[in-house]
Amino acid sequence: MAVVINIDSIRAFGRHGLSDEERSRPQPFEVDLKVTLAGDEAVQSDEITDTVDYDRIVSIAVETVENTQCKLIEHLAGSIGRLIMDEHRDKMESVSVTVRKLHPPMVYHVGSVGVCVEQR
């Protein structure tokens, strides 16, 4: 049995982008996390100690968006995934991190651009 935890639409403001102007002011970003647990102990036991701390995982994502500066959202997504895996490696098989930049500065009207990076 595979256990997958989905945490969607985490909102945070960060200073990420290629141009100095993009990095000069906070912009809205959205993060989705898909965590695959290493086992199904939580399903069987109903104990919090057999899963990951959802609040902590969300905190890692928000803190990374808010407190770092990246040119590429690919790098941002990879950083979030690495930090989550480093802290929860004993209970996780993988984490998939989707980062969307809302209202990106593009020639055409686009609601968002995003990337998905999976860490194992």
d(CA 71, CA 75): 8
C-alpha separations of 118 from 66, 77, 90, 91 in Å: 21, 9, 17, 16
Give residue 61's pLDDT.
Answer: 98
How does pLDDT run across 68-94, given as a tens digit for each residue? 999 999 999 999 999 999 999 999 999
* Average confidence (pLDDT) over 91-113: 94
Q: CATH 3.30.1130.10: does it fit domain 4-119? A: yes
Give residue 1's pLDDT.
Answer: 87
How does pLDDT run across 3-54, given as a tens digit for each residue? 999 999 999 999 999 999 999 999 999 999 999 999 999 999 999 999 999 9
Using alpha carbons, select from 102, 108, 93, 117 the residue that is nearest to residue 17: 102
Local confidence band at 119 (pLDDT 50, 70, 90 cut-offs):
very high
Using alpha carbons, select from 27, 29, 38, 31 the residue that is nearest to residue 60: 31
How does pLDDT run across 51-70, given as a tens digit for each residue? 999 999 999 999 999 999 99
The residue ranges of every structural domain in the chain are 4-119
